Amino acid sequence: MSRADVHARGRSRPVTARAPAKVNLLLQSGPRRADGYHELLTVFQALSLADDVTAAPAPEWGVSVEAAPRAAAPGEHSTGPALVDLSGVPLDETNLALQAALLLARETGAGSPVHLTIRKGVPVAGGMAGGSADAAAALVACDALWGTGLALDDLAELGAELGSDVPFAVHGRTAVGTGRGERLVPVLTSATWAWVLVPAGHELSTPKVYAEFDALVAAGRVQAGAEPGERLRAVEAALRAGDPRALGAALGNDLEAAACSLAPALTETLAAGRAAGAVGAIVSGSGPTVALLTESTRHARTVAERLRAQGRRALTAVAPAPGAHVLEPVLAS
């Protein structure tokens, strides 16, 4: 495609794209590989909790961040403006959304500078891949703005250069991830799943959680990637059956012991979630957000209310949500 074609297909108005947060229904980690990464077997599920990224033509490249308005996505109920602390989001070229825009521009030769505005609904450094969601949304928004017309698979492949969770944020829904989590196969599930997310009041660094995992494995206190086939089959069967109790029992996260060792209050949050009626409780990814599976959206509201009555923050979300997509403006009639 020539540069002229690309510009002819692009848009002159700002484009907004939405990309979902994720929970890992199953996260099994093998030992550290020679390249420093861990071989993963994971099942991702995309949540209605999401970030929006607007790409607007600008004189120079830039990025800014603001809190998403409350209840920005269907099924999402936030508990207040302090839910997402924006202070951990970098506003320089290390921002994943800006990196994604620059990468797409470099790869296609199509991009002229944009200012990206991120509206965050996903807790920062919470183990829900908010930064990856921003990268995926920026790729999709800039692709539409510039008219580069790349296939979703191509955008996902580009995204994998920025982070292991970006391809899933591009595709969304429910998928098995292998490798570093970037090789995806969709999983069939007909049900709607109702989640309660309990964000911690602090961040937990993913590299530190993996280092603690390595230490626990070396000390023989955690087994790396035990019974992979069996645990995956249990998750897939529960997803197919649409059975929340079976899925709750099959949830598993090899990083949970490491996250709880670094942030002991998580053990208490998991217990509080179960006591509030959740059918499954898990640390999301590397934490520190705790994800609670419930039986219905109504049940999720009840569980969330019980936790809020104890002074905890809690929000509800439904899944599976679509991957990164453009939000078309509502045209005035």
Neighbours of 312 (CB within 10 A): 21
128 is in an annotated binding site: yes
Please identify, using beta-carbon distances, which residue of 251 and 259 lies nearer to ligand ATP: 259
Q: Assess 212 for contact with ligand ATP (CB under 6 A).
A: no
* Cis before 31? omega within 30: no
Is residue 165 flagged as an active site residue? yes
Chain centre to alpha carbon of residue 55: 20
Q: Cα(301)–Cα(314) distance, rounded to whole angstroms?
A: 9
248 is in an annotated binding site: no
Please identify, using beta-carbon distances, which residue of 82 and 237 lies nearer to ligand ATP: 82
Residue 38 pairs in a beta bridge with 32
Q: Cα(177)–Cα(191) distance, rounded to whole angstroms?
A: 20
123 is in an annotated binding site: yes
Q: Cα(239)–Cα(243) distance, rounded to whole angstroms?
A: 7
> Binding ligand ATP by CB under 6 A: which of 46, 104, 129, 162?
129
Q: Assess 286 for contact with ligand ATP (CB under 6 A).
A: yes
Nearest to 84 by CA among 124, 127, 133: 124
Please identify, using beta-carbon distances, which residue of 200 and 234 lies nearer to ligand ATP: 200
Give the ranges where the chain is alpha helix by DSSP (H).
3-9, 96-108, 130-146, 152-160, 166-171, 206-218, 228-241, 244-250, 256-262, 265-275, 297-309
> Binding ligand ATP by CB under 6 A: which of 121, 130, 248, 280?
130
In contact, 66 and 290? CB cutoff 8 Å: no
Neighbours of 69 (CB within 10 A): 11
Query: Scanning residues 87 to 106, which ones bind ligand ATP (CB under 6 A)?
Result: 88-90, 94-97
- Three-state DSSP at 40 gives strand
Q: Assess 127 for contact with ligand ATP (CB under 6 A).
A: yes
74 is in an annotated binding site: no
Nearest position to ligand ATP, beta carbon = 131
* From 6-14, 119-127, 180-188, 264-272, span contacting ligand ATP (CB under 6 A): 119-127
Q: Assess 316 for contact with ligand ATP (CB under 6 A).
A: no
Is residue 120 flagged as an active site residue? no
* Shortest distance in whole angstroms from residue 127 CB to ligand ATP: 4
Please identify, using beta-carbon distances, which residue of 96 and 307 lies nearer to ligand ATP: 96
User: SS in 3 state form for 74-104?
Assistant: CCCECCCHHHCCHHHCCCCCCCHHHHHHHHH
Q: Assess 30 for contact with ligand ATP (CB under 6 A).
A: no
Q: Assess 181 for contact with ligand ATP (CB under 6 A).
A: no
Which residues carry out catalysis?
22, 165
Q: Which residues are annotated as a binding site for ATP?
A: 123-133
Q: Name the site residues for ligand ATP (rule: CB under 6 A).
A: 88-90, 94-97, 118, 124-132, 134, 163, 165, 203, 206, 285-286
